Amino acid sequence: MGVDLPLIWALIIGFGLMMYVIMDGFDLGVGILFPFVPAREDRDLMVNSVAPIWDGNETWLVLGGAGLLAAFPLAYSVVLSALYLPIIVMLIGLILRGVAFEFRLNAERAPRYLWDTMFAAGSYIATFCQGLVLGTFIQGFKVSNNAYAGGALDWLNPFSIFTGIALLFAYALLGATWLIIKTEGPLQERMIALARPIILTVFAAIIIVSIWTPIQHPEIAARWFSFPNIVVFSPVPVLVILATLALLWSLRPDAHALPFVLALVLVFLGYSGLVISLWPNIIPPSISIWDAAAPPQSMGFALVGTLFIIPFILVYTAWAYSVFRGKVRPGEGYH
Amino acid sequence: MEPSAASTTALDLARFQFAFTIAFHIIFPALTIGLASYLVTLEGLWLWKKIPKYRELYHFWAKIFAINFAMGVVSGIVMAYQFGTNWSFFSTFAGGVTGPLLAYEVLTAFFLEAGFLGVMLFGWNRVGPGLHFFATIMVALGTLISTFWILASNSWMQTPTGFTIADGRVVPTDWFQVVFNPSFPYRLLHMVVAAYLSTALFVGGAAAWHMLRGRSTPAIRTMFSMAMGLIVVLAPIQMIIGDLHGLNTLKYQPAKIAAIEGHWDSVPGQSVSLNLFGWPDMAAEKTLYAVAVPYLGSLILTHELYGQVPGLKQFPPDDRPNSTIVFWSFRIMVGLAILMLVLSLWALWLRWKGELFSSKNLLRFAVLMGPAGLIAVLAGWITTEVGRQPWVVYNVMRTAHGVSNHSVAALTTSLAMFVILYIIVFGAGVIYMLKIVARGPDEEGPPEDAIDNPLHRPSRPISAAENDAAVEPAETAGK
C-alpha cells in the first residue's frame, strides 16, 4: 500500500491547527483588544461581531486534540502531559471567555462589568498559554520509554514566555483587522490606529523568534541555512517583509477586508516557518510523525470520514459566515 | 511501555478531577440533547400551525439553550484534552480506538452543532423560516450524533471488542465490532431517553412553577402538557431499557451487578433475594443492615425464580468495584425513576379528569421533580463508571496503569483551580438560566416588522439569551 497515512494525517492536523489559529485567533483578539475600548456600546459591537461564529472557530481546537489522539496518540499523550499546567490554564481561560459571551448580557450592571473583565482576561490567559505551548513545542520535550520524562515546569523559560507575549500581539492583529471589516465610524478608526503599532510589534517578534530559534537549536539553523534549503526557503522571509509593508499600507481610512487578508497571510507565513523548522517531528526534537503514528487501522478508519466530511464543514461554515456578513450595527435588537 | 509510576494519592487526585469535571459537564449536554429536540418540535409546530404560543416558547427555550450550550461547550473542551493531560498512558495505549471515535464526534457532530448554532440563535430575522428550521434540525441532529460517538467510546471501554493488542497497545481489527460493542445499543438508548426525560422534567417543573404563581398562559400550559405527556410515554420505556441494560451488564460485567446489589455469596440452586436497602461493607465482605425481599433478586436479574448470579466474593478483592457507592447511586437512580412514573401517571389521570392544570399538589410535585432527571443521570453514570473499576478498559487495562505521572503538587493545583472556577462560573450560569426560566416566555414574541426589514439586523444585543430588562436607552437609540 503506497499511502503514507502519517503524512496525510500530519497535513490534516496541520490544516486544522492553522484554521484554529486564524479563526479563534481573531475572536480571541477581539477579547485582547477589550481593555483598549472602554465604551459599552463599542464592546457590545465587538462581541456581537463574533458571537454567532466563535463556537465554530473553537471547534477546530477540539479537532486538533481529537485528530492528534486518533492519528498520533503518543504525541497527544506526551505533549499534553508535558504541558500539563499551561494546557489546564488555557482551558480555564477558554471557559471564562466562552461563558462571558452569554453571561455579560444576562448580568446586572456590576456583574456585567465583571464578565466583561472575564471576557478580556480569559482571552489573554488562553492566548498567552497557547504561546507558551508553542514556545515549549519548538524547544522540544524530554522523552524516555514513550513517556514524558521532563519536569513539571519545563515550559517556564524566557523563550516560551516571549512566544506567549508574541502570540498576544498576533491575535490582537487578527482581532483588530477583523473589526476593521465588521465595524465603522470611530470604532473602526480606533482599530486602524491600534493596528499600526501591533503590526510593527508582530514583525519585530517574528524577527526575534527567527534569530533566537536557530541560535538555540543548531539542527533548525542547519535546516534553514544549508544549501539548497536557503534558496528554497528564502521566499518566506521576503514575503514576511512584503506582507508587513502591504499591511501598513492597507491601513487607510477606507480600509475594509484587505488588512485582515494580509494579516492572515502574515500569520500563515509565520506558521509555515514553524513547519519548516520542525518537520517532520511531532514530538520535537526527535520523534517523527512516523514514530508516533497510530496503528494503520486507526488512521485509515478515521481518514475516510475526515476526507469526506471536512468539505461539508467548510461549506456550511462559509454559509454561516455569509449569513452574518456586513457591518455590525448598534440598536437593532433581537427578541 | 512501562506502566505509570504515579502514586496512589496522585491517582486518586486525577480520578477525582476527572469525576468532578465530567459530572459538571454531563448535566449540560443532557439538557442540550433534550432541549434541541424540543426546539425542533416547537419550531415545527409554529411553522405548521402558526399559533403564536409555539413561537413564544421557541424563543424562550432558545435563550436557556444558548447559555446551557455555551457551558456544555467549554466544559467539554476540558474533557477532550484531559485524556492527554491526565490519562496519557491510557491514551497512548487505547488512543487507536478512542481517538478515531472522538475525531468522528468532532467532525460529524461538534462542527454541525457549532456551524448551525449561530443561525439558529441569531438568524431568526436573517434567513427564511424554512432555512431557520433546517438550522435548528441540524443542531438537534448534531447533539444526537455526538451522543452516538461518545457512548460508542465509553461502551467500548466498558465492553471492549473488535481489537487485538500488539506492541503494547490496542490495535482495532473490526471497527463495526468496536462501535457496536455489546453494551453500546443499551447505553445509547438509555442515555438519549434519559436526556429527553431530564429535559421534560425540567420544562414541566418550570411550567408548574409559573402556574403555582398564577401565571397560566396558553404557552405555559402547553409546556406543562407536552412535558407530562412525554414523561408518561418515556418513563416506562426507560425502565424497560434499564432492565435490558442490567441483563447485558450481568452478562459482560457481573462484578458490577454484584456490587450494585450488595450481593456477596453465590449459592447454586438457591434464589437471590433483593437488598432493598443496606450498607455494603467492603472490608467485612457483607451488606450490613440489609432489608431484603426473597426471590426478587433472581426474578429481576435472571427473570427466573431460582436464577443465580455471581457474588462479589467470586472476584479477587483487587478486582471488586466499590459496592457501597454503586449500591446507593443505583438506588437513587431507580427511586427517582419510580417517582417520575408516579408523577406522569398522576398527571395522566388528572388530564383524563380534565384537571391537569388545576391540581396544586401535582404542580408542587412537578416543581420538586424539575431536577430529578439530571440527578438520575448523574447517579446512573456514577453507577456505571464506579462499577467499572478497577478497570479503565474493562479486563484489559487498569485505571491505575493509565494515569499520567504528575506530581501531587501539580494535580492539587489543577484540581483546586477547576473546583473554584466551576463552582463560580457554572454556578453563575445556572443562576442566569433559572432567572430566565423565572421570567417566563414573552407573550408578544419578536416584532413582526423585523422580518422584512433588511436594516433590522439582530446585532445588539445579539446574544440569544439577552436580558430585555437590562436594555438601556443608549442601546435602543438606533431603533
Residue A245: per-residue pLDDT: 94
How many secondary structure helices (H) and strands (E) does chain B include?
Answer: 16, 6
Rounded to an integer, what distance in angstroms lies between the CA atom of residue B379 and that of residue A13? 37
- How far apart CA A70 and CA B419 sit, in angstroms, is 29
Query: Rounded to an integer, what is the distance from CA A114 to the centroid of its chain?
Result: 26
CA angle A125, A128, A130 (to 5 degrees): 105
3-state secondary structure of B283: coil
Write out pLDDT tens, residues A87-97.
999 999 999 99
Query: Does A206 map to a domain?
Result: yes
Residue of B nearest to A328 (CA): B459
Q: Which chain B residues have a beta carbon less than 8 Å from that of A76?
A: 83-84, 88, 91, 95, 99
Give the confidence band of B5 by pLDDT, cuts at 50, 70, 90.
low
Q: Check CB contact of B127 with chain A, cutoff 8 Å.
A: yes
Residue ranges per structural domain of chain B: 8-254+322-476
- Is residue B4's pLDDT more than 80? no
Q: Is there a contact between A3 and A307 (Cβ–Cβ < 8 Å)?
A: no
CA angle A255, A259, A261 (to 5 degrees): 130
The stretches of B2-106 forming alpha helices (DSSP H) are 8-49, 52-85, 88-105
Q: What is the mean pLDDT of residues B29-45?
A: 95
Q: B409-430 pLDDT, tens per residue?
A: 889 999 999 999 999 999 999 9
Contact B366, B224 (CB under 8 A): yes
State the CB neighbour count (10 A cutoff) for residue A160: 22
User: For position A110, what pLDDT does the model report?
Assistant: 75
d(CA A219, CA A216): 9
Q: Do A320 and B122 touch (CB under 8 A)?
A: no
In B, minimum Cα distance to A303 occurs at B100
CB interface of B with A, residues 255-284, below 8 Å:
none
A333 in any annotated domain: no
Across the range B204-225, mean pLDDT stands at 93
Interface test with B, best of A90, A104, A105, A314 (most B CBs within 10 A): A105
CA distance A211 to chain B (A): 31
Burial class (CB in 10 A: 0-12, 13-18, 19+), B453: exposed
Alpha helices in B123-217 (DSSP H): 129-158, 175-179, 184-212
Nearest to B81 among A80, A96, A295 (CB): A80
Q: A254 by DSSP, 3-state: which? A: coil
Strand-pair category, A287-288 with B163-166: unpaired
The amino acid that residue B117 corresponds to is L
Rounded Cα gap, residues A100 and A54, in angstroms: 12
CA distance A59 to B73: 9
**pLDDT under 70 in chain A at which residues?**
1, 331-335
Query: Residue B361, Cβ neighbours under 10 Å: how many?
Result: 9
At residue A153, what is the residue type? L
Q: At what angle do helices B129-158 and B88-105 cross, to 10 degrees?
A: 150
Stretch B296-322: mean pLDDT: 87
Of B74, B406, B458, the CB nearest to A334: B458
For residue A332, the chain B residues in CB contact (below 8 A) are 455-460, 478-479
SS3 B126: coil
- Contact state of A95 with B91 under an 8 Å Cβ cutoff: no
User: Which residue in chain B is spatially nearest to A96 when comparing CA positions?
Assistant: B425
Closest CA to B83 of B105, B65, B64, B66: B105
Total domains in chain A come to 1
CB B470 within 8 A of CB A335: no
- Chain A partners within 8 Å of B431 (Cβ): none
Peptide bond into B461 cis (omega under 30): yes
As a whole number of angstroms, the distance between CA B433 and CA B63 comes to: 8
Question: What's the mean pLDDT in B311-328?
Answer: 91
Which residues lie below 8 Å from residue A49, measured CB to CB, with a gap of 6+? A30, A178, A179, A182, A183, A328
Write down the mean pLDDT value for chain B. 87
**A83 vs A94: CA distance, rounded Å:** 16
Contact A250, A227 (CB under 8 A): no
CA atoms within 13 A on the CB side of A159: 19
In a domain, A334, yes or no: no
Contact, B37 vs B197, CB < 8 A?
A: no
Cα gap B120→B390, rounded to integer Å: 43
Return d(Cα A47, Cα B461) in angstroms, integer.
9
Q: For the residues of A137-170, what is the DSSP string, one character each?
A: HHH---EETTEE-S-TTTT-SHHHHHHHHHHHHH
Beta-bridge partners for B277: B291
Specify the pLDDT at position A15. 92
The span from the CA of B23 to the CA of B408, in Å, is 22
Among the listed residues B116, B200, B202, B228, the one whose alpha carbon sits nearest the alpha carbon of residue B433: B202
Q: Contact A334/B446, CB-based, under 8 Å?
A: yes
Residue among A66, A99, A104 minimizing CB distance to B425: A99
Mutate to test the interface with A, among B65, B122, B463 (most CBs of A within 10 A): B463
Span between the terminal Cα atoms of chain A, in Å: 57
Chain A residues near residue B127 by CB distance under 8 angstroms? 323
Name B353's Cβ contacts closer than 8 Å, sequence gap at least 6: none
For residue B117, list chain A residues with Cβ-Cβ distance below 8 A: 52, 55-56
- Set of cell numbers at residue A333: 435588537
Taking contacts as CB-CB distances below 8 angstroms, the residues of chain B near A58 are 73, 77, 114
Subunit contact B106:A66, Cβ cutoff 8 A: yes
Q: Residue A314 falls within a domain, yes or no?
A: yes
Q: Can you give the pLDDT at residue B245?
A: 93
Helix %, strand %, coil % for chain A, to 5? 75, 5, 20
What does the alpha-carbon distance between residue B353 and residue B350 come to, in Å, rounded to a whole number?
Answer: 5
Residues 459-478 of B with CB under 8 A from A: 459-468, 470-471, 474-478
Tell me which residues of chain B, numbers 356 to 415, contact chain A at a CB-CB cutoff of 8 Å.
404-407, 409-410, 413-414
Q: State pLDDT tens for residues B52-107.
A: 999 999 999 999 999 999 899 889 889 888 988 899 899 989 989 999 999 999 99
DSSP-derived secondary structure letter, B468: G
List the grid coordinates of A335: 427578541
The rounded distance, in Å, linking the Cα atoms of B158 and B182 is 9
| Tens-place pLDDT, residues B269-296 | 788 888 888 898 888 888 888 888 888 8
B302 vs B148 pLDDT, higher one: B148
In angstroms, how far is CA B49 from the centroid of its own chain? 32
Q: Is B282 helix (H, G, I), strand (E, B) or coil?
A: coil
Residue B427 neighbours by CB under 8 Å, 6+ apart: none
Q: Residue A51 and residue B111: Cβ atoms within 8 Å?
A: no
Cα→Cα distances A56→A144, A155, A299, B115, B154, Å: 37, 29, 24, 6, 25
Distance between CA atoms of A189 and B476, rounded to whole angstroms? 23
Percentage of chain B beyond pLDDT 90 is 63
CATH code of the domain in which A238 resides = 1.20.1630
- Is beta strand B286-293 parallel, antiparallel or unpaired with respect to B391-393? unpaired
- The CA distance from B80 to A66, in Å, is 7
Q: Under a CB-based contact definition with an 8 Å cutoff, are residues B240 and B288 in contact?
A: no
Residue B107 falls in which region: left (phi positive, over 0), alpha (psi -120 to 50) or beta: alpha
Residues A118 and A104: their CA atoms lie apart, in Å, by 9
Report the C-alpha gap between B264 and B344 in whole angstroms.
36
User: pLDDT digits over B245-274, tens only?
Assistant: 999 999 999 999 989 988 888 888 788 888
Q: List the single residue in A55, A73, A335 with the smallest CB-CB distance to B73.
A: A55
Which chain A residue has the Cα nearest residue B114? A56
Give the range among B133-142, B211-220, B322-331, B441-450 with minimum mean pLDDT: B441-450
Which residues, including other chains, have CB under 8 Å from residue A266's CB and lie 6 or more apart?
Answer: A173, A202, A206, A240, A243, A244, A247
If you search the block for the grid coordinates 473602526, which residue do you land on?
A188
A331, part of any domain = no
Task: Please choose, from the candidates A93, A43, A100, A21, the residue with its C-alpha nearest in 3D space to the C-alpha of residue A270.
Answer: A21
Q: Which residue among A108, A306, A333 places its CB closest to the CB of B107?
A: A306
Domain that holds residue A299: 5-323
Sign of CA dihedral B300, B302, B305, B308: negative
Residue from B255, B223, B465, B243 nearest B356 by CA: B223
